Amino acid sequence: MTVYYTFIINRAGGLIYEYDCCPRAPDVEISFNYPIDLKLEMIDNRPTVVFGEKNGVQVGYVVIECNGCPLAPGGRIDSADDDSLAKTKSTKLLDYLADEANYPVLLKFWRPTLSTNEKIILSSMFHSFYAISAQLSPVPNSGGIQVLESTTYRLQCFQALTGNKFLAVGDPTCPPLDQLLHKLHELYSDYALKNPFYSLDMPIRCDLFDQAVQQLVERFEKSGVLLV
């Protein structure tokens, strides 16, 4: 009964609203002896697990701390060198872990979440997939993607006649999200379009709309049915 994300995409494929209530996995801290039994590589400038599992850390997890110190951007370790007073030495984490003299070492892992830019990119991709799926249809006058299911989530999409898309991503065991999407469309017309200072097709930054969406999702998660 969990709703992870709610998105509104405008007619041009731009993300104009996102409500993220994805549960956060806790960070995992593990002490390692040489040699480290998880394989790490730099992906998107972050030291990422590419092979191996341990204590809940899986492929895709990112190292964020080493010996209690947050990593600098680019996966580097800043440390004061003992033999010169003010000099700061910057070492790549992967080089640091290759040296046996640095062990044992304490690493903290974080399961990455979608950044705002990633959500914008994914919304544009979905917009294209939606149009392609309508064109690929063997049946004439087909609509686009309405339900997209995987083992870990179900995505449902409702496109209003005006071209705006309302998406919700929920648990596979969720009841159908249609009611949630239609209610979201109502809230959109009530709190966004009737706000005279909201420009069409621009990101929605209205506190009243945020509150209304939050209440809607909470009610849906509680009962699964939305009555007037």
Q: How far is the CB of 70 from other proteins (least distance, A)?
A: 42
Q: What mask, x for binding other proteins by CB under 8 A, covers residues 172 to 201?
A: ----------xx-xxxxxx--xx-----xx
Q: How far is the CB of 177 from other proteins (least distance, A)?
A: 15
Q: Where in 123-182 is the site for other proteins (CB under 8 A)?
A: 131, 134, 160-164, 182
Size of the site for other proteins (CB under 8 A): 26
Please identify, using beta-carbon distances, which residue of 62 and 181 lies nearer to other proteins.
Answer: 181
Backbone angles phi, psi at 23, to 5 degrees: -65, 140
222 binds other proteins (CB under 8 A): no
Please identify, using beta-carbon distances, which residue of 111 and 185 lies nearer to other proteins.
Answer: 185
Q: Where in 23-42 is the site for other proteins (CB under 8 A)?
A: none
Please identify, using beta-carbon distances, which residue of 112 and 203 lies nearer to other proteins.
Answer: 203
Q: How far is the CB of 182 from other proteins (least distance, A)?
A: 6
Please identify, using beta-carbon distances, which residue of 81 and 190 lies nearer to other proteins.
Answer: 190
Reading the block at residue 148, the tokens are: 């997209």
Q: How far is the CB of 116 from other proteins (least distance, A)?
A: 23
3-state SS of the chain is CCEEEEEEECCCCCEEEEEECCCCCCCEEEEECCCCCCEEEEECCEEEEEECCECCECCCCEEEEECCEECECCCEEEEECCCCCCCEEEEEHHHHHCCHHHCCEEEEEECCCCCHHHHHHHHHHHHHHHHHHHHCCCCCCCCCCCEEECCCCEEEEEECCCCCEEEEEECCCCCCCHHHHHHHHHHHHHHHHCCCCCCCCCCCCCHHHHHHHHHHHHHHHHHCCCCC
**Positions in the binding site for other proteins (CB under 8 A):** 11-12, 131, 134, 160-164, 182-183, 185-190, 193-194, 200-201, 212, 215-216, 219, 228
